[in-house]
Amino acid sequence: MLKAVTFDLWGTLMLEASQGVRRTRVERLRRIDAVLREAGIFIELDAIDRAYDLVGERLTELWSTLRDTGARTQVVWLLEILQVSEQSRPGWLMNRLVDAYTLPILRDLPLPFEGATDVLSTLDSRGFRMAVICNTGRTPGKVLRMILERLGIGKYLSIQTYSDEIGLRKPHPEIFRRTLAELGIEPHGALHVGDTLESDVAGAQGIGMRAIHLCHPRGADPKPAEGETIFSLPELLKLMGKNNPGEEK
């Protein structure tokens, strides 16, 4: 019997605002430049921009191993590429740079996916436990929790698991197992919903969870494949029927 539902975040519960990625990048670079200049470190903005891209390449390589790292390490990589010595990186500067790197997204908040709030509210009213299992990028789990609260949907997600915090990325089975352990639910009692076939669907099925592909034009895998598929979040409620936890399906 189904007792819990876990969700991917990006492309499933929320989407980037229009032009949000571009504006966030520009603001990150501007703030990083400003913090470095305040510390007496003068580097051309173009060089920071190139270093930012090189950090992205390092991340992509790391992610290919299903491992992850946090924003502070990403900032260290950035400074290494810019050849800013360790002696020039006091704690206060690192803290300021991490904020410059991670907080600009709060100026262009992502948007809840259509129907997300109503679906979460309905599942909550039915007594389901819910969680997020998210592969992060430049924005760490600490900031994503802030975003979910501001969007009004964080309150429905009792557990939020982020790859930068545990060092592993979907479809690694451990990120699913840890989430279910915190929920106190066995895999056969949980359903996972996500927009990626490999990370979400195959990852969840790999540990014995039921998995549903949310297929939509802005999703990671916008074409339907074999298996359970929905094309909007409200369809999830129809697919699950009116069962409450503890009721036989």
CA 133, distance to chain mean position in Å, is 7
Question: Cβ neighbours of residue 135 under 8 Å, at least 6 residues apart?
Answer: 10, 63, 68, 163, 169, 170, 199
Of all residues in the chain, what percent carry a pLDDT higher than 90? 91
Domain residue limits, the chain: 4-16+111-240, 20-107
Report how far residue 6's alpha carbon sits from residue 88's, in angstroms, rounded to the nearest whole number: 43
pLDDT score of 245: 73
Q: Please write the tens of the pLDDT for every residue from 5-50.
A: 999 999 999 999 888 899 999 999 999 999 999 999 999 999 999 9
CA 209, distance to chain mean position in Å, is 20
Burial of 60 (0-12, 13-18, 19+ CB in 10 A): exposed
Report how far residue 41's alpha carbon sits from residue 88's, in angstroms, rounded to the nearest whole number: 9
Cβ atoms within 10 Å, residue 148: 22
Q: Answer whether residue 249 shows pLDDT above 60.
A: no
Q: Answer whether residue 247 shows pLDDT above 60.
A: no
- DSSP at 182: H
Q: Residue written as tokens 């409200």? A: 234
pLDDT score of 246: 54
Report how far residue 13's alpha carbon sits from residue 7's, in angstroms, rounded to the nearest whole number: 7
pLDDT score of 243: 64
Superfamily for 4-16+111-240?
Answer: HAD superfamily/HAD-like (3.40.50.1000)
> b/e map of 220-230 (b: 16 or more CB within 10 Å)?
bbeeeeeeebb
Q: Residue written as tokens 């074999």? A: 226
DSSP string, 59-111: HHHHHTTTB---HHHHHHHHHHHTT--GGG--HHHHHHHHHHHHSGGGGS--E
Q: Answer whether residue 248 shows pLDDT above 50.
A: no
Average pLDDT score over residue span 137-164 = 97
CA trace torsion 85, 91, 94, 95 (10° rounding): 180
Report how far residue 146's alpha carbon sits from residue 35's, in angstroms, rounded to the nearest whole number: 23
The answer to whether the CB of 21 falls within 8 A of the CB of 144 is no
Average pLDDT score over residue span 130-143 = 98
Q: Please write the tens of the pLDDT for every residue from 217-228.
A: 999 999 988 899
Its pTM stands at: 0.94
